[in-house]
Amino acid sequence: MKNGSLDNFLFTTEEHSGKMLSREYRYNVALGTTRGIMYLHEECRDCIIHCDIKPENTLLDEIFNAKVSDFELAKLINPKDNRYQILTSVGGPRSYLAPEWLANLPITSKSDVIAMGWSCLR
């Protein structure tokens, strides 16, 4: 994607200056990421829990439309199973994990929602 990942605009490293996005762009990125997560959770035949929502996995095109990427840790949940599952492996960095990961509770689509919230706070 033309503008790389969202973390390029949030964090300063030797390679990236941590360019700031305008409030309008930040809103559009949050909205686009939320729509992508909603599609995975509600509009697919089976619920897809991404399990690794973070700025590094939010790609930005040339006009800063957000695209959710990196489905390596994603899990399919059949709607007949009430959209929850006990998962044994923890995905993603601890800073974006939902409390249920750490407490060994059933994982739901809400786990992605809280990770999105943590990303927005960055």
| Phi, psi of 113, rounded to the nearest 5 degrees | -65, -45
What phi and psi values does residue 6 have, to the nearest 5 degrees?
-60, -30
Is 7 annotated in the active site? no
Distance CA 52, CA 109 (A): 12
List the structure tokens of 60: 């930005």
Biggest CA pair distance of the chain? 48
Instruction: Please tell me which residue in 7, 46, 52, 112 is annotated as part of the active site.
Output: 52
List C-alpha distances in Å: 9 to 4, 110, 114, 121: 9, 26, 21, 13
Nearest-angstrom CA–CA distance, 18 and 31: 21
Positions marked active-site: 52
